[in-house]
Amino acid sequence: MTVGQPGQRGADPGSARHRAEDAASPVGTALRLGCIADDFTGATDLANNLVRGGMRVVQTIGVPAAPVDGVDAVVVALKSRTAPVAQAVAESLAAARWLRGQGAPQIFFKVCSTFDSTPQGNIGPVAEALLAELDADFALVTPAFPEAGRTVFKGHLFVGDQLLSDSPMRQHPLTPMTDANLVRLLQVQCRRSRVGLVEHRTVARGVGAVRERIDALRAEGCRLAIADAVDDADLHVLAQAAQPLKLVVAGSGLAIGMPALHGLAPCVAASLLPPAEGARAVVSGSCSAATNAQVADFIAAGGPAFAVDALRVAAGYDVAAEALAWAAPRLGGEPLLVYATAAPDTVRAVQAKLGSERAGALVEHTLARVAAGLVDAGVRQLVVAGGETSGACVQALGITQLRIGAQIDPGVPWCFAAERGLHLALKSGNFGGLDFFRRAFASL
């Protein structure tokens, strides 16, 4: 493969030096990339990969009111993954207009690496609306992120060694994923577009072959195409092949090749945050297999933990106040955990009683109040687990911008919210090692 090798493009020492100087200046270059993420942890995951490649990145919560200066990329974080379709489309279009207004030559619509969505959307409808908004006729689509175990082959998404539909994602509380064939899955969501496939054998032949395939798909009337990728080299090829496109729809994996395409190289300055201080806490609302294991590990190691019972919340008890009263005397000691995280059987039982939407909303609201109360009480280092949960917590905290720092584990960086003087890590449910909740604070 003659293109897309990270070693080749990252090897220019002059470029790295130039970048370090750039990062110190208050106002840098024009926006090189505009990103729209369909949930908050996904936004941080994407920003993390861009920062690792040497881009300076700010993540905004919703569409910013004012310009953002001195960064290479802005990631507009929405909470649109499970919103009604019309709302997801409207918010995504507003974000795209703002990013284009800041000069972004390309829009990166970030979706989950497990392609979290329902037959109604929102990936398909948002992608189609963005194509129309950008006056574009084609976008590449790939959730692949091999470093995190997400690979796509013959259009089928694998989570580790399992097909998506055999993975724990089939039991997700809001977006159960029961089909691993992404071409079929995306086609069901699309009203106006045919969905094609860029197969791995094409990607393996390099950038020219992918561009030829894109032209052929366009000629066949396809406006979207799933692209296979099984390793980082594939992602580098796809990022370069997609560079002339106004829109890409992807997981955060595709971002690893993008900074180098703009002549940037990894540099420490891109990820520097202020020093951390204050009390430490974890708020967890993810029910993924990974988060269940992380909660169990934290408790097994003797970490102080408070369980939020969704049924007690529904019965009218002020569980957030109970959690905060429990936390108050413990703040400033060992990191503490407040969690609604539960095993699939428990979640199913709760959903059977309350309905999945109401259960999710009640728990999110409770955990958001807990997060806000903890920060009011002096927490300055906070980990939140769960995409929807993170969205609710960040909104309750009134945070509008996050500067992205170094990663704790793949896909999960520490961030800094200057408005609250708060170090924050937003962990997507599936991400992080077993001891993530214990290790996260040590890495600050």
Name the residues that contact ligand ADP, by CB under 6 A: 172-174, 285-288, 291, 310, 340, 342, 347, 350-351, 359-360, 363-364, 386-389, 428-429
Closer to ligand ADP by Cβ: residue 155 or 386: 386
Residue number closest to ligand ADP, CB atom: 429
| Separation between Cα atoms, residue 379 and residue 279, nearest integer Å | 4
- CA dist 236 → 120, 241, 435 (Å): 31, 9, 31
Residue 177 Cβ, how far from ligand ADP at the closest point, in Å? Answer: 11
CA atoms within 13 A on the CB side of 345: 0
Q: Specify the residue, 1 or 352, whose C-beta has the smaller distance to ligand ADP.
A: 352
Q: Quick one: CA torsion of 384, 387, 390, 391, rounded to 10 degrees?
A: 180
Residue 200 token pair:
């791995």
Enumerate the β-bridge partners of residue 196: 225
Q: Which is nearer to ligand ADP, 68 or 349 (CB)?
A: 349
Q: Least distance in Å: CB of 378 to ligand ADP?
A: 25
> 271 or 288, CB closer to ligand ADP?
288
Residue 13 class from Cβ within 10 Å (0-12 exposed, 13-18 middle, 19+ buried)?
exposed
| Cβ at position 294, least distance to ligand ADP in Å | 11
Q: Based on CB atoms, which residue is closest to ligand ADP, 250 or 362?
A: 362
Contact indicator for 122, 85 with CB cutoff of 8 Å: yes
Nearest distance from C-beta of residue 199 to ligand ADP, angstroms? 30
Give the CA radius of gyration of the chain. Answer: 21
Phi-psi region of 236 (alpha: psi -120 to 50; beta: other; left: phi over 0): alpha
Name which of 270 and 363 has its Cβ closer to ligand ADP.
363
Find all residues with CB under 8 Å of 21, minimum gap 6, and list them. none
Residue placing its CB nearer to ligand ADP in the complex, 106 or 114: 114
Kindly state the smallest distance separating residue 351's Cβ from ligand ADP, in Å.
6
For residue 288, the minimal CB distance to ligand ADP (Å) is 4
Task: Write down the residue that tokens 């750039």 correspond to.
Answer: 22
Least Å from the CB of residue 64 to ligand ADP: 23
Give whole-number Cα distances, 41 to 9, 60, 130, 391, 394, in Å: 28, 12, 21, 8, 10
Q: Is 260 exposed, middle or buried (0-12, 13-18, 19+ CB in 10 A)?
A: buried
Nearer to ligand ADP, 173 or 196 (CB): 173
Q: To the nearest whole angstrom, how small is the minimum distance from the Cβ of residue 363 to ligand ADP? A: 3
Nearer to ligand ADP, 183 or 363 (CB): 363
DSSP 367: H
**Rounded Cα–Cα distance for residues 6 and 4 (Å):** 6
Report, in Å, the least distance between residue 394 CB and ligand ADP: 12
